[in-house]
Copies of this chain bind each other. A is one copy, B any other.
Amino acid sequence: MATRLSAHEVKGVFEKISTWGKWGKEDELGALNYITPYKRAAAARLVQRGETVSLALPLATQSSPENPQPVQHMMLSAGAPGVAALDYFSIASHGMAHTHLDALCHVFWQGKMYNGFSEREVGRFGARRCAIDITRDGIVSRGVLLDIPKLKNVEWLEPGEAIDADDLDAAEKLHHVNVNEGDVLLIRTGRHQRRKAKGPWDVRRTGLPGLDATCLQWLSDRKVAVLGCDAVSDVIPSAFGNEIAMPIHVGTLVIMGIHLIDNADFDALANAAAHNDRYEFLFTMAPLILEHGTASPVNPLAVF
């Protein structure tokens, strides 16, 4: 089993895996650079059955212990005779309830975001660098699912339970798949199965399962383009306290420029992958073009 790292060691890893400057000083795409046209075309050729699977939760309009800021949905016209039905919604995309894509400007480490841009590039009116609209032409690539509860033969991982690099290796073997350059890597923890069985919990206090800091080197080696999780990728609570509250968020968004999908839903995907006996598929996702924004709600798709 991979040994737990100290906070000091994690900082060492950050230095080692940094991609700052790799694609030029002005680059804001980060690891999306790994997704070449060739990679996309190859991903499209994975489609055989023409079956699509949503990887998103419905927009959560009810408050709950895990959703203190629900999506607000209101009818503006309920359709009186002769009149159309109209509505409105609002969303604070971040947090631990809504399926969303984090922009690279979302998190800072030592005053910097990805590629060394200053946190001062984010102000009252949004981000001038690494905003979510950098993804305006969508993210289309090969998706790979690693179903960790299946690996561990449990229904779900418990809050606070860590997935380490050895687990990722083992899941690859189990699923007969190899994560490689430009892939969108999706990690299933089974979080939503636990909620269905036990009801929602306060994820900030009770925690969530997620990747151990040992996975950072692994993600770097494999040149992952995007990381997604049905939880928030990081183990909650952090093994490093406030010193490094979210090592995966920092190591991916800031250090390697890897965009993160938080709070996805991979339950249907796990079923489809098992049923097709195939853990790779065409992945497609098109964030809304929110200029200067720090995130977008998304509904990523897997196509088998």
Contacts and interface: CB of A to CB of B under 8 A. Distances in A.
Interface in A106-134: 106-108, 111, 119, 122-127, 133
A76 B74 contact: yes
B81 A78 contact: no
Interface string A64-106: 0000011111111111111111111111111000000000011
B282 A301 contact: no
B286 A301 contact: yes
Contacts of A105: 79, 85
Nearest to A88: B92
Interface string A134-177: 00111010000000000000000000000000000000000000
Interface string A256-300: 000000000000000000000000001011111111111101111
A61 B284 CA distance: 26
Given A44-B47, A48-B41, A49-B41, A89 B293 contact: yes
A5 B80 CA distance: 28
Given A79-B119, A84-B108, A303-B40, A290 B126 contact: no
Given A48-B41, A50-B37, A284 B284 contact: yes
A56 B296 CA distance: 14
Given A108-B84, A126-B87, A136 B48 contact: no
A291 to B, nearest CB: 5
Nearest to A68: B125
B126 A73 contact: yes
5 contacts: A44-B303, A59-B291, A74-B76, A78-B122, A89-B290
Given A73-B293, A74-B74, A87-B290, 13 more contacts: A37-B50, A38-B50, A40-B303, A41-B47, A44-B47, A62-B63, A73-B292, A75-B124, A89-B91, A138-B284, A286-B298, A288-B299, A289-B299
